[in-house]
């Protein structure tokens, strides 16, 4: 209710607030990989690469649990509270990580942190898409999700500056400062207008729709159409995803998410250590992580601009190709300049492509199951994010030749390239479909 007294503002303000929530997830995405070389050397821990990979996977198991619960919760209790709760949870988890006395306690703290962060991404993406202009949804979504890479850049820079002198605990302790943005979110982060309409909170919906120049009549019309469809099928949320109109798309998006998450989390967990294994000092290895984040930002913004013009599918496929070719290049002995270019391309084809997939999902499904669609795809994708660090740890621990470290991540890129063309057109138009069309979509 606080936001009801605020002056008018455009939808870019929502993007900024959602962007700030994603920065926390981006920081957490990178911090384990950035601190891993020091964790392997922590006195008294005796941490092996295989055990380190397991700890990295615990984080992502927590994310999977959080995302699986966040999808239906966001469709039932709203996006705003879930986002704020996720930020607070991340801050508490960061403190627990900084104080961890053993590998097991660090893994438990990382699992705890992951549960809270699991609700942030689907809620922020769904809110961003709802408030974005119809012809700028991919762009606004990408601007929000650049928070991944901005958080990663912040973490990489802090690691380069502080890790050698102050140790790995400092990087986790700094993550706790993120709770400082909560008062601003409480005052200024709006609730989903679609959610308010669905729950009969029409006065709040009218205020927010007027303030952010949203078409309230269209939203009401869409909600009525979705209510008719849900009543006819007895489904909404996850149940709606299981209907004939949604099932194929939901499954394919889940599989593509699995592939891209395996690449993203495998590289972010092990790239610095892989570069150290290749003979580069710790500082240079962290610089590779930084370059990959810059590539991700270029991929997010450039890909979103192209997707708004050409369509998501036509952009996602070549981006996966760029990622696969870059990983093949990393498996070779290259001069430093070409090596940096390959790492940059890997950022475009991994994290940059992830944001396009999230945007594609958010614009593909109607509001009645959008949060569930995002949550389901990302929760299934977390199986890939769990496998990524495990595969990296197994390969590093096996002392295989350097090129095998990267071949393992080329395979999911190739699989994704084959899956994306199979995604059908939306059976139900997400935001502009008349009631009559919505009824007959099944």
In the predicted model, is pLDDT for residue 199 greater than 70?
yes
Residue 201 is assigned to a structural domain of this protein: yes
CATH of residue 291's domain is 1.20.1250.20
User: Can you list the alpha helix ranges (DSSP code H) found in 99-136?
Assistant: 103-117, 120-131
Kindly provide the residue ranges of all beta strands, DSSP E only, lying in 322-404, ordered along the sequence.
none
Mean pLDDT of the chain: 81
Give the chain's largest Cα–Cα span: 67
Q: How far apart are CA 235 and CA 248, in angstroms?
A: 16
In the predicted model, is pLDDT for residue 48 greater than 60?
yes
pLDDT attached to residue 230? 53
Distances, alpha carbon 56 to alpha carbons 119, 191, 278, 291, 377, in Å: 19, 33, 21, 21, 20
- Span 134-165, pLDDT tens digits: 777 767 877 887 888 889 889 989 998 999 88
pLDDT attached to residue 45? 94
Q: At what angle do helices 12-39 and 49-77 cross, to 10 degrees?
A: 160
Residue 439 is assigned to a structural domain of this protein: no
Number of domains in the chain: 1
Residue-number span of the structural domain to which 328 is assigned? 10-422
Query: What is the SS3 assignment for 294?
Result: helix
Residue 269: pLDDT band by 50, 70, 90 thresholds?
confident
CA 16, 357, 228, 242 torsion-angle sign: negative
pLDDT attached to residue 368? 65
In the predicted model, is pLDDT for residue 233 greater than 50?
no
Q: Could you tell me what percent of the chain has a pLDDT over 70?
A: 87
What is the average pLDDT across 282-305? 83
- Span 328-344, pLDDT tens digits: 888 887 788 888 899 99
What is the average pLDDT across 232-259? 74
pLDDT attached to residue 235? 46
Of 118, 137, 127, 155, the closest CA to residue 296 belongs to 155
CB atoms within 10 A of CB 292: 30
Residue 9: pLDDT band by 50, 70, 90 thresholds?
low
Residue 416: pLDDT band by 50, 70, 90 thresholds?
very high
In the predicted model, is pLDDT for residue 218 greater than 70?
yes
Please check whether residue 359 is in contact with residue 311, taking contact to mean a CB–CB distance below 8 angstroms: no
Half-sphere exposure of 68 (CA within 13 A, CB side): 11
Residue 3 is assigned to a structural domain of this protein: no
219-223, 237-241, 408-412: least confident range: 237-241
In the predicted model, is pLDDT for residue 438 greater than 70?
no
pLDDT attached to residue 381? 82
Distances, alpha carbon 387 to alpha carbons 127, 133, 253, in Å: 29, 37, 18
Q: How many residues are listed for the chain in this entry?
A: 442
Residue 2: pLDDT band by 50, 70, 90 thresholds?
very low
Residue by residue, DSSP assigns 181-196 as GHHHHHHHPPPPHHHH
Q: How far apart are CA 257 and CA 63, in angstroms?
A: 14
Please check whether residue 148 is in contact with residue 67, taking contact to mean a CB–CB distance below 8 angstroms: no
pLDDT attached to residue 31? 92
- Span 13-29, pLDDT tens digits: 788 888 988 898 889 87
pLDDT attached to residue 234? 45
131 contacts: CB under 8 Å, gap ≥ 6: 11, 14, 15, 140, 190, 212, 214
Q: Which two tokens stand for residue 66?
A: 């959080």
Q: Which two tokens stand for residue 307?
A: 């997707």
CA angle 280, 284, 285 (to 5 degrees): 75
Bigger pLDDT: 211 vs 18? 18
Burial of 12 from C-beta contacts in 10 A (0-12 / 13-18 / 19+): middle
pLDDT attached to residue 408? 84
Bigger pLDDT: 168 vs 3? 168
Q: How far apart are CA 44 and CA 382, in angstroms?
A: 31
Q: Could you tell me what percent of the chain has a pLDDT over 90?
A: 21
Q: How far apart are CA 248 and CA 241, in angstroms?
A: 9
Please check whether residue 434 is in contact with residue 225, taking contact to mean a CB–CB distance below 8 angstroms: yes
What is the average pLDDT across 273-301? 80
Residue 273 is assigned to a structural domain of this protein: yes
Q: How far apart are CA 119 and CA 21, in angstroms?
A: 10
Q: How far apart are CA 320 and CA 277, in angstroms?
A: 26
- Span 63-118, pLDDT tens digits: 778 877 776 777 777 888 889 888 898 899 999 999 999 999 999 999 999 888 87
Residue 255: pLDDT band by 50, 70, 90 thresholds?
very high
Residue 331 is assigned to a structural domain of this protein: yes
Of 360, 382, 381, 368, the closest CA to residue 74 belongs to 368
What is the average pLDDT across 424-431? 62
Name the percent of the chain in helix, strand, coil, to the closest 5: 85, 0, 15
Q: How far apart are CA 150 and CA 316, in angstroms?
A: 21
Please check whether residue 300 is in contact with residue 351, taking contact to mean a CB–CB distance below 8 angstroms: yes
Residue 67 is assigned to a structural domain of this protein: yes
Of 61, 117, 410, 383, the closest CA to residue 254 belongs to 383
């Amino acid at each position: 209710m606080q936001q009801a007294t605020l002056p008018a503002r455009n939808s870019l303000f929502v993007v900024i607030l959602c962007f700030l929530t994603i920065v926390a997830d981006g920081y957490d995405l990178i911090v384990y990989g950035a601190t891993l070389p020091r964790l392997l050397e922590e006195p008294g821990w005796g941490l092996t690469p295989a055990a380190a990979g397991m700890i990295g996977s615990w984080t992502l198991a927590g994310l999977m649990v959080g995302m699986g619960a966040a999808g239906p919760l966001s469709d039932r209790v709203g996006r705003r509270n879930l986002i704020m709760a996720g930020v607070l949870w991340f801050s508490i988890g960061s403190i627990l990580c900084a104080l961890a006395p053993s590998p097991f306690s660090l893994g438990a703290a990382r699992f705890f942190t992951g549960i809270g962060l699991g609700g942030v991404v689907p809620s922020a993406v769904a809110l961003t898409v709802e408030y974005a202009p119809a012809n700028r949804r991919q762009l606004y979504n990408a601007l929000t999700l650049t928070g991944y890479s901005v958080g990663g850049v912040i973490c990489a820079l802090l690691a380069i500056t502080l890790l050698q002198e102050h140790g790995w605990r400092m990087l986790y302790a700094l993550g706790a400062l993120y709770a400082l943005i909560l008062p601003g979110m409480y005052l200024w982060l709006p609730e989903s207008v679609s959610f308010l309409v669905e729950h009969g909170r029409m006065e709040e919906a009218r205020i927010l729709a007027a303030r952010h120049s949203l078409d309230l009549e269209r939203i009401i019309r869409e909600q009525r159409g979705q209510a008719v469809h849900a009543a006819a099928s007895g489904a909404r949320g996850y149940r709606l995803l299981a209907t004939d109109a949604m099932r194929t798309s939901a499954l394919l998006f889940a599989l593509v998410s699995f592939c891209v998450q395996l690449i993203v989390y495998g590289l972010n967990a092990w790239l610095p250590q892989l570069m150290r294994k290749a003979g580069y000092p710790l500082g240079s290895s962290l610089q590779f992580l930084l370059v990959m984040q810059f590539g991700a930002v270029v991929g997010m913004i450039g890909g979103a601009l192209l997707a708004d013009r050409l369509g998501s599918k036509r952009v996602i496929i070549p981006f996966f190709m760029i990622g696969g070719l870059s990983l093949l290049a990393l498996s070779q002995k290259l001069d430093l300049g070409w090596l940096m270019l390959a790492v940059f391309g890997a950022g475009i084809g991994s994290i940059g492509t992830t944001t396009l997939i999230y945007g594609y999902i958010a614009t593909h499904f109607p509001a009645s199951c959008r949060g569930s669609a995002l949550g389901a795809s990302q929760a299934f994708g977390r199986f890939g994010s769990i496998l990524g660090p495990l595969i990296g740890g197994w390969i590093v621990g096996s002392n295989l030749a350097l090129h095998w470290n990267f071949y393992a991540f080329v395979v999911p890129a190739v699989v994704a390239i084959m899956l994306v063309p199979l995604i059908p057109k939306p059976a139900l138009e997400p935001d502009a479909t008349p009631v009559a069309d919505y009824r007959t979509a099944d």
